[in-house]
Structures are given as C-alpha cells and as structure tokens.
Amino acid sequence: MKKCWLRTASALIVGIVVLAGASSASAAKAPSPTITGPVTGGAGMPRILTSSFDLADVGYEGNEYFLAGTATAYTSATPLASNGKWKVTPATGTTATADYKTRVVVYRPQAAKDFNGTVIVEWLNVSAGFDSAPDWGLAHRELIRAGSAWVGVSAQSVGVQGGSMTIAGAAPGGLKGGDPERYASLVHPGDSYSYDMFTQVGRAVKGTKKTDPLSGLKAKKVIAIGESQSAFRMVTYIDGIQPIEKVFDGFFVHSRSNGAANLSQAPLPVITPEAPTFIRNDLGVPVMTLQTESDLVLPRLEYLSARQKDTKNFRLWEVAGTSHADAYTGGIGFSDTGDGKAEAALLDVTNADGGPLGCTQPINYGPHFSVVSAALHALTNWVADGTAPPRAPRLEVTAGPPAAITRDATGNAQGGIRTPLVDAPTAVLRGDGNAGASFCQLFGSTLALDDEQLAALYPSHKAYVAAFTKSANKAVRDGFMLKPEAKNFIAAAKASNVGG
C-alpha cells in the first residue's frame, strides 16, 4: 500500500477529536471470525486517516482485511459503579448476538526479523463520521523504530455505516459511503456489539488456524489503545470486558473524559456507567492513562474528578503545555518520518495560526506527540518485562468552580510532565482558550512571547539553547521524552534565532 487515504487538511483534523438468535454463552466461546484479504478493489487503498508518507520508505507495509463473525452484546444486573468493579455478563435473548463483518488495517515491518513481538490494536476514532487513527498518528515514529505491528479496528457502527455529522466540509459516510464498491459487503449491527468485535480482533491477531492478519508474524504481547471518544470505550472495555475475556496484555487510555461509554445502547437497553468512572484496581494487567491540559478541565471532558493514584498496574501522565488536539495532529504529523522537520515546525511559534479549522487563536504547538511516544515506549516495556513506567507529577489545578490549570508568571502550566517547550518557553502553550468553528476549543492555543519577554528570559542565543538543552535532557532522564525527539528538538532550538 503506497499511501493512506487522505482528504483535506480540515478533514484530517477532525478524525481525532472528541466527541440473531438467543444465546447466553460468553463471547469468548463464539467461533473464531473468518478473515479475508488483503482487500483490493474500489478506490484501490484503505479508507482511513493515518500517515501520508509511503510506509515502504520506513520499512513497513500495510494491508487491509475483512473480519466476519458473530458478536455478543453485554449487560449487567447491577449498576455500573463509579469504582469500575463491574460484574458484566453476556446478554441473553433474541438480540444477544448479531452477525457482523468489519475491517482492520494492519501496518507491520516488512522484514519479520524487525518485528519486536508487540501488536498495538487501536480502536479507531469515529467522531467525524469516518475512521481515523490518532494514536498511530501521534506515536508512529516510536512504533516504527521499535518494530511494533499496528492494527486499526473499525469497531463502531459510524465508522462502517456512516453517521449524520458533517464537519469542515467532510461528508460523514463511513466506509460504505466513502467507497461503496470496496466496502459493500460490510455489516455492523450496532455499538452494543462493538466490545466483542474488538475482543475478537485482539484474539485474531494472536493467530489461530483461521486467522493470521499479521501474515506470519507471531505476536507475543497485544496492547489495546484508544484516544478521545475511543478512550471512553477503552474505559468501559477495561472495567467490563477485560475481566471476562482477558485478551489484552495492557491498555493505553488517551485523552479520556471523567466518564465512560455506554455498555449497551439503543435499540438494546441503554446501560450507562456512573460518572466519574475510575479504572478498576484489580485488573491484573498494566493500564497507562495520558491526559492533556484540555482533558482535565474542559466542559464535557472534566477528567479531574476521575483522577487516580498510581498503583502497581496503573500510571497517569498529565502533560504541561498540551491540548486534546494540536498542530501536530492537525497536519504537521501526517508526513513526519522523524527527520526533524516536525520539531522545527513546532518551535517556530511565530508562524502559529488557526489551523485547518480556522480557529480564532493560533492552535496549540505543544509537545504532545513526543510524550505520547515516550508513554507507548514505556508501556510496551512494562507489558514485555514488567518494568513499570516512571510516576509523573500531576498538573497543578485550582478547584474552582470552574476548575482551572494553575499557571506560572509566563502563563504556562505548573506541575505535570515537563518538557523544554514549557520550561524554556518561547510561547504560552495552553489546552484551553480557543474559539471558532467546529471543535476549535479542543485545539488549545499558542501565544508567542514578545521580544521583551524573550530578552528577559534569554540574554543570548547561547543562554536559550543551554536552558532548552538542560530541560530536554532532564525529560529524557526522567523517561518522559525519548532521545530521538529530544535530539531533534535541541537541533531546532540551536537553529532558531531565539535569544540576544
């Protein structure tokens, strides 16, 4: 597969934003799904928003497969309590199971010797009415360096059947509407069955006699991930489904709200978890949660009330200077192969603008992608050999109401994971404060410091580079930034004209 399907820059952005017969048998006992592919036909390439570069240029290949089977819905005889310790059971009755046919996209190293044994299974985001892969987009450099395989799952009905929302001029449509010839055979029975569909994909990538979407690669560990709306579903999956099915070896929950997605929805009985919803503390496998400034305090997210302490199997990272979506996810990251151009663009805050959605203020140019890369690196090691990630300080917050991030004299957040973009700043990077059309509120803001402010902070260019390098090296030592990103950021700082 030469290139992934792309639309306008506006459409690229929105894919990452928020918002049968009777059976009582467990979904785990259902027959394995059948898998067909690699899929061809139609427009000639998978319809998904991921990277725009040629995977072959980085030693990877991509293929698309169809999975077909029977999925089970879930229910609970008791309320889904805030503590996450739910007792979920397979549904019964005439609507307990339903047939489905969905698709998965697989990115893997071309050479089997380069595969590290870890498979990342991403619950694709459907907020825009079609599938996008925000976590691949943010962390693809690290996944490629490490040699991980990545599987994107069309788990939700909107991604397959299409939705009613049109954002930034992009027709919703889903797979069937976007490429009717290629995806005509797909069938999604509804999101009540999505959790079991996701389970069956997780089981399939481990390989059975009927399923081998990794084309001969043998998975040693399988990690489930999801961002934004998909993170809400990860919380429900972790608290309700993983204790039953035990398919995944770890979880990455990224930019979640204080609640969780419904376990079941219309036309089946609507079962809504209590909010705030915590990650259960008896899961037995690692769970890493990463939150931006936006996620803690913005309306409809408000994760602050669902904050948890770190435990043996739980880590929470909160990152200063970041927003739910940003300039990297809005365009810079789609062509990023690690050559340093992305870091240089993020440090060039004088060119920050309203992004493809035309937001009122320049959108956030923060270090989000680099910390996500470090988080997935740490989680992969945690799952593989038990080495737990470092514990991170929490962002400092005033309770309010409304709750707000505490800020230093420059205007940047206090506390949280620190990077040189906030500790040697050339701008105020916030997760709030923007306005405009569509989801602009989620893209944060960037306010470049003026010449007087820069002169006060950095009497010379050498002083700026020294402060920036010191912070970058500390972030690497602390485990919150990886060496390749730090190296590129330091090179960009040296090439800048900041200071003096």
pLDDT tens digits for range 105-136: 999 999 999 999 999 999 999 987 889 999 99
**Residue 357 CA: distances (Å) to CA of 83, 160, 300, 444:** 38, 25, 20, 12
90 has pLDDT over 80: yes
Q: What is the H or E stretch that residue 63 is in?
A: strand 60-72
pLDDT tens digits for range 12-51: 333 333 332 233 334 445 568 999 999 999 999 999 989 9
169 has pLDDT over 50: no
* Reported CATH class of domain 9-285: alpha beta
pLDDT tens digits for range 296-312: 999 999 999 999 999 99
Choose among 107, 3, 5: nearest CA to 62: 107
Specify the pTM: 0.93
Using only the alpha carbons of the chain, give its radius of gyration: 22
Cβ within 8 Å of residue 179, ≥6 positions away: 42, 43, 47
Q: Which residues of 138-170 are buried (b: 16+ CB within 10 A; e: fewer)?
A: bbbbbbbebbbbbbbbbbbbbbbbbbebebbeb
The structure tokens listed for 135 are: 């976590």
Average pLDDT, the chain: 91
